[in-house]
């Protein structure tokens, strides 16, 4: 009986062929489904914008530019979504933000009212937080009540927040800029506070500097 092993080349060739075929199938599936996924995400985002901006019936997306914002369907980059009522009056601005939670990246959308200088709505867009604990950031009514009127006032310079958004231990909230945390989901609720603190510090001064253009519903070229 021969102890010779089969030549390696045919086995290698077969493995390479299978790998190439799998790669091709993955690419075909991605190309075929990418537009559908993008469309579904756009529709979900639009619905979320109207949920965090009560009273908004139309929206305009403003893409961040070097000196402000532009309204351009071809533009790409960080963006905010201004919501207007039926008369075209600015209701508020929806801002997407993300940061690390306990398990993975948390992505949220929050509504900001320039007139009230408060966060007036909040929705978790994506999260892998622990079911029954960390995922309470998306559905616990007591936690979500934090974002009905969360103070994010700018100082007189309009360059910085008067008070940084901060998460505190559940039941110890005393200030309007504090987020009342979730017992048993401390890391997740603290992460939400940090996400909002970083995002508002970045976006709100820029929004204040371009508020007139946003209120008109047009960006600056």
Determine, yes or no, domain membership for 26. Answer: no
Q: Is residue 168's pLDDT more than 90?
A: yes
pLDDT of the residue at 79? 92
Q: Is 125 left (phi over 0), alpha (psi -120 to 50) or beta?
A: alpha
Buried b (16+ CB within 10 A) or exposed e, 44-71: ebeebbbebbeebeebbbbbbbeebbbb
More confident residue, 11 or 110: 110
Lowest mean pLDDT: which of 14-18, 45-49, 71-75, 84-88?
71-75
d(CA 80, CA 96): 7
In which domain, by residue range, is 98 found?
A: 36-216
pLDDT of the residue at 191? 94
Determine, yes or no, domain membership for 7. Answer: no
Determine, yes or no, domain membership for 130. Answer: yes
Q: How far is CA 221 from CA 60, 63, 70, in A?
A: 15, 11, 6
pLDDT of the residue at 186? 86
Determine, yes or no, domain membership for 23. Answer: no
Determine, yes or no, domain membership for 129. Answer: yes
Q: Is residue 220's pLDDT more than 60?
A: no
Determine, yes or no, domain membership for 28. Answer: no
Task: Let me know if 200 is exposed, middle or buried by CB neighbors in 10 A (0-12, 13-18, 19+).
Answer: buried
CA dihedral sign, ordered 24, 25, 27, 32? positive
Determine, yes or no, domain membership for 13. Answer: no
Please, are residues 164 and 197 in contact by the beta-carbon 8 Å criterion?
A: yes
Determine, yes or no, domain membership for 11. Answer: no
More confident residue, 36 or 162: 162
Helix (H) or strand (E) run with residue 151 in it: strand 150-151
Rounded to the nearest angstrom, the gap between the alpha carbon of residue 170 and the centroid of all alpha carbons in its chain is: 24
Buried b (16+ CB within 10 A) or exposed e, 103-117: eeebbbbbbbbbeee
pLDDT digits (tens, 9 = 90+) for 131-142: 766 788 998 999
pLDDT digits (tens, 9 = 90+) for 76-131: 789 999 999 999 999 999 999 999 988 888 999 999 999 999 999 999 998 776 67
27 pLDDT tier (thresholds 50, 70, 90): confident
Q: Domain count of the chain?
A: 1
Lowest mean pLDDT: which of 34-38, 174-178, 187-191, 207-211?
34-38
């Amino acid at each position: 009986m021969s102890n010779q092993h089969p030549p390696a080349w045919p086995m290698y060739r077969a493995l390479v062929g299978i790998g190439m075929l799998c790669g091709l199938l993955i690419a075909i599936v991605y190309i075929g489904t990418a537009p559908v996924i993008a469309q579904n995400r756009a529709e979900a985002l639009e619905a979320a914008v109207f949920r965090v901006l009560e009273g908004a019936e139309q929206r305009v997306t403003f893409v961040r530019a070097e000196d402000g914002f532009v309204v351009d369907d071809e533009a790409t980059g960080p963006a905010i979504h201004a919501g207007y009522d039926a008369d075209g009056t600015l209701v508020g601005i929806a801002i997407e933000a993300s940061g690390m939670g306990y398990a993975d990246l948390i992505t949220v959308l929050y509504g900001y009212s320039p007139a009230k200088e408060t966060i007036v709505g909040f929705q978790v867009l994506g999260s892998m937080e622990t079911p029954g604990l960390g995922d309470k950031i998306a559905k616990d009514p007591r936690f979500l009540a934090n974002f009905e009127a969360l103070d994010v006032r700018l100082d007189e310079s309009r360059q910085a927040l008067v008070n940084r958004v901060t998460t505190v231990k559940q039941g110890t909230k005393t200030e309007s800029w504090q987020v009342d945390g979730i017992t048993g989901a401390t890391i997740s609720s603290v992460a939400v506070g940090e996400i909002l603190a970083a995002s508002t510090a970045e976006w709100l001064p820029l929004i204040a500097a371009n508020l007139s253009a946003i209120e008109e519903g047009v960006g600056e070229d």
